[in-house]
């Protein structure tokens, strides 16, 4: 939960600033909360497309409903959260991926999670004072991922605009990763094996969805190729291992982008612009390649990919094929 501490700090700061300008017609804290959800949806949507575009080739897969859930308890200011969003239950849908399984099942933003598989979600007594925490929603996310992993349709109970309804969700398997926006101005991104994290500063920096897809595809590649356990298992020469995983993530990223309908050339234009502008940031450490080397590597990989025939617009990424064969 350490990562969320930064989010709380940032949102609390926005809250303090907003109290000072309460006269403004549009509450800036409400606007900041809504902007965060809009960014989360943008990231979730790009992540979903990347994960479903290469679903057939991934060894690591899960069933993603294509929703952004939020817990009113995760916001520093409960009153503002309730003004900014509809919460039909303390944990509700913040936003839905267009065309995703949850959206197609008829769910809408504001619909509140009441239970699953006949069990009522345990919300517990409300604390006397509001303490922001993500424990509850993290626990639920894990529980639902486990239920969905059994491969059968799961009956979710939701409070909707038209009353309490049972919604049967049976999402297709896609490449396994979750995605979340880390509220920080620093341009940064990361992957912990299960989730891809992109800072709001980096979301604001990219020119378009293709560029954001380049960043997300690189981080997603780390998760799909199990780089985290490989780095952890390395007894010596960690720097070399990390450098190798960085090169793999770059190479796989352009295949993931193309399979999802994003322009792989955006990976080159993004890293070029980013490298020239900063020369620092995510890729400054000695474990990472210089941006000129990365761009040359991406060029080579895009050319190699373009020389192979596509089936229904998709190509099997060699790194994912090798990863499947590893078992």
Q: Which is nearer to Zn ion, 154 or 191 (CB)?
A: 191
Q: Which is nearer to Zn ion, 92 or 245 (CB)?
A: 245
In the window 102-141, what residues touch Zn ion (CB under 5 A)? none
Q: Which stretch binds Zn ion (CB under 5 A): 32-40, 69-77, 195-203, 246-254?
A: 246-254
In whole angstroms, the minimum distance from the beta carbon of 225 to Zn ion comes to 11
In whole angstroms, the minimum distance from the beta carbon of 49 to Zn ion comes to 20
**Residue 256, φ and ψ in degrees, nearest 5:** -60, -40
Closest residue to Zn ion in the complex (CB): 249
Q: Which stretch binds Zn ion (CB under 5 A): 166-174, 242-250, 256-264, 318-326?
A: 242-250
In whole angstroms, the minimum distance from the beta carbon of 218 to Zn ion comes to 6
Q: Which is nearer to Zn ion, 111 or 246 (CB)?
A: 246
In whole angstroms, the minimum distance from the beta carbon of 215 to Zn ion comes to 10
Angle (CA) 182 187 193, round 5° = 55
Q: Which stretch binds Zn ion (CB under 5 A): 201-209, 244-252, 253-261, 292-300?
A: 244-252
Q: Which stretch binds Zn ion (CB under 5 A): 3-11, 127-135, 248-256, 301-309?
A: 248-256
In whole angstroms, the minimum distance from the beta carbon of 178 to Zn ion comes to 17
Q: Which is nearer to Zn ion, 11 or 212 (CB)?
A: 212
Q: Which stretch binds Zn ion (CB under 5 A): 37-45, 88-96, 135-143, 245-253?
A: 245-253
The footprint of Zn ion on this chain (CB under 5 A) covers a number of residues equal to 2
Q: Which is nearer to Zn ion, 147 or 243 (CB)?
A: 243
Q: Which is nearer to Zn ion, 249 or 320 (CB)?
A: 249
In the window 249-288, what residues touch Zn ion (CB under 5 A)? 249
In whole angstroms, the minimum distance from the beta carbon of 27 to Zn ion comes to 38
In whole angstroms, the minimum distance from the beta carbon of 191 to Zn ion comes to 7
How far, in Å, CA of 224 to CA of 178, rounded? 11
Q: Which is nearer to Zn ion, 246 or 301 (CB)?
A: 246
Torsion 118-119-121-125 (CA) sign: positive
- Please count the CA atoms within 13 angstroms of the CA of 85 that sit on its side-chain side: 32
In whole angstroms, the minimum distance from the beta carbon of 220 to Zn ion comes to 10
CB 292, CB 275: distance < 8 Å: yes
In the window 46-105, what residues touch Zn ion (CB under 5 A)? none
Binding site for Zn ion (CB under 5 A): 246, 249
């Amino acid at each position: 939960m350490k990562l969320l501490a930064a989010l709380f700090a940032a949102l609390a700061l926005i809250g303090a600033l907003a109290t000072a300008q309460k006269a403004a017609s549009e509450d800036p804290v409400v606007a900041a909360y809504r902007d965060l959800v809009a960014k989360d949806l943008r990231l979730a949507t790009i992540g979903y497309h990347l994960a479903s575009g290469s679903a057939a080739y991934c060894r690591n897969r899960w069933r993603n409903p294509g929703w952004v859930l939020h817990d009113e308890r995760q916001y520093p200011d409960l009153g503002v959260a309730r003004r900014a969003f509809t919460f039909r239950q303390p944990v509700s849908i913040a936003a839905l991926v267009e065309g995703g399984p949850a959206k197609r099942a008829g769910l809408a933003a504001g619909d509140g999670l009441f239970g699953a598989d006949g069990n009522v979600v345990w919300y517990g007594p409300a604390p006397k004072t509001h303490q922001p925490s993500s424990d509850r929603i993290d626990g639920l996310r894990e529980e639902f991922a486990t239920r969905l992993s059994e491969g059968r349709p799961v009956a979710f109970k939701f409070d909707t605009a038209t009353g309490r309804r049972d919604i049967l969700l049976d999402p297709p398997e896609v490449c396994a990763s979750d995605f979340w926006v880390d509220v920080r101005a620093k341009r940064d991104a990361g992957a912990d094996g299960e989730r891809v994290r992109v800072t709001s500063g980096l979301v604001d920096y990219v020119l378009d969805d293709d560029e954001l897809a380049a960043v997300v595809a690189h981080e997603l590649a780390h998760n799909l190729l199990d780089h985290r356990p490989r780095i952890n298992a390395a007894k010596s020469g960690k720097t070399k291992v990390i450098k190798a995983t960085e090169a793999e993530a770059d190479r796989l990223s352009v295949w993931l982008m193309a399979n999802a309908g994003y322009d792989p050339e955006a990976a080159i234009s993004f890293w070029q612009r980013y490298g020239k502008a900063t020369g620092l940031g995510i890729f400054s450490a000695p474990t990472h390649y210089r941006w000129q080397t990365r761009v040359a590597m991406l060029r080579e990989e895009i050319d190699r990919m373009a020389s192979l025939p596509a089936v229904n617009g998709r190509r099997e990424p060699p790194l994912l094929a090798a990863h499947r064969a590893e078992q």
